[in-house]
Amino acid sequence: MPSFRNGAVEIDYLDEGEGEPIVLVHGFASSKNVNWVYPTWVSELKKQGRRVIALDNRGHGDSAKLYDPENYHIGIMAGDVRALMDHLQLDRVDMMGYSLGARITGYLAYSQPQRLRSAIFGGLGIGIIKGGGPGENVARALEASSLDDVTDPVGRTFRAFADQTRSDRRALAACLRGSRRLMTRAEVEAIKLPTLIAVGTTDEIAGSAAELGALIDGSEVLDIPRRDHMRAVGDRVYKAGVADFLNRRP
């Protein structure tokens, strides 16, 4: 896979297909492959005539691993996405993020709206303001000697996922501690882009999609039936809803 440097940080990415560009930003403890390639997002978006760009966030996948939480502020991670767009000479893109990737997408939708044609928030609802999801319990679980030492149920879920994906757990713990910035209600209300909010109906991490949708004028909410935070990623209802949204957006 190709890579580029944003300052001293090397970022791995993929760039496939032709057509209108969409940038995909994966979730915490995941990667471009786990979040987007293996669930067939990349191949299906290419079939729909789109150019698909996806990166490994810093600390994840094949990108550089950093161990200071100060290197993982949301604005810094969003800067990697913006730098990738600059590297590929992309002025404006559709952007879809999942979970942490949706928070990065939200930050850019607010701070750099001229760079986005639309924003898709997957696996994230009102939690973008109210918080929730993995916290210090998960960071401690990632730093534990083994999964057997982790008793917190949420911590066990993320630790098992990190072990499965063979992630750098120390880098993930630093990312988790550094990327906790939440958006304010005023920042969210300032988003004026075409926006889709897609959350599983049994997702206990994302927060209410409808509550977030009520704050973004003209946004659409997509309920992904009977899917929790982990299992919604590759759901066919999610994929069909995104395809329909992208085909209709101005």
Q: What pLDDT does 1 receive?
A: 85
- Domain CATH code at residue 128: 3.40.50.1820
Task: Tell me which DSSP letter residue 71 carries.
Answer: G
Backbone angles phi and psi of 106, in degrees to 5: -65, -40
**Sign of the four-CA dihedral 139, 227, 15, 97:** negative
- Name the band, by pLDDT with cuts 50, 70 and 90, for residue 6: very high
pLDDT tens-digit series, residues 148-193: 999 999 899 999 999 998 999 999 999 999 999 999 999 999 999 9
What pLDDT does residue 232 have?
Answer: 97
Q: Which residues of 192-211 are buried (b: 16+ CB within 10 A; e: fewer)?
A: ebbbbbbbbeebebbbbbee
The pTM of the full predicted model, rounded to 2 decimals, is 0.96
pLDDT band at 134; cut points 50, 70, 90: confident
Token pair, residue 129, equals: 């303001």
| In the predicted structure, residue 229 carries a pLDDT above the cut 90 | yes
User: Cα separation of 243 and 240, whole Å?
Assistant: 5
DSSP letters along 153-201, please? HHHHHHHHHHHHTT--HHHHHHHHHH--PPPPHHHHHT--S-EEEEEET
Structure tokens that stand for 153 in this block: 């149920």
C-alpha dist (Å) from residue 228 to 64, 124, 187, 224, 233: 30, 11, 27, 9, 9
Q: How far apart are the first and last CA of the chain?
A: 32
Q: What is the pLDDT of residue 51?
A: 98
- The residue among 67, 61, 1 whose CA lies nearest residue 25 is 61
Q: What's the pLDDT score for residue 207?
A: 96
- Which SS3 state, helix, strand or coil, does residue 32 take? helix
Confidence bin at 133 (pLDDT 50/70/90): confident
What pLDDT, on the 0 to 100 scale, is given for residue 101? 98
Q: Report the pLDDT value the prediction gives residue 154, as an integer from 0 to 100.
A: 87
pLDDT attached to residue 86: 98
Query: What's the pLDDT at 63?
Result: 98
What integer is the mean pLDDT of 213-217?
98
Q: Is it the case that residue 250 has pLDDT exceeding 90?
A: no
Which pLDDT tens digit goes with each residue over 8-35? 999 999 999 999 999 999 999 999 999 9
What's the pLDDT at 132?
A: 84
Q: Is the pLDDT of residue 48 over 90?
A: yes
Show the domain range for 136: 3-248
Bridge partner list, 120: 96, 196
**How many separate domains does the chain show?**
1
Instruction: Give mean pLDDT, residues 70-77.
Output: 98
Q: Residue 214: is its pLDDT beyond 90?
A: yes
Residue 112's pLDDT is what?
A: 97
123 contacts 229 by C-beta, under 8 angstroms? yes
The residues facing 3 across adjacent strands are 12
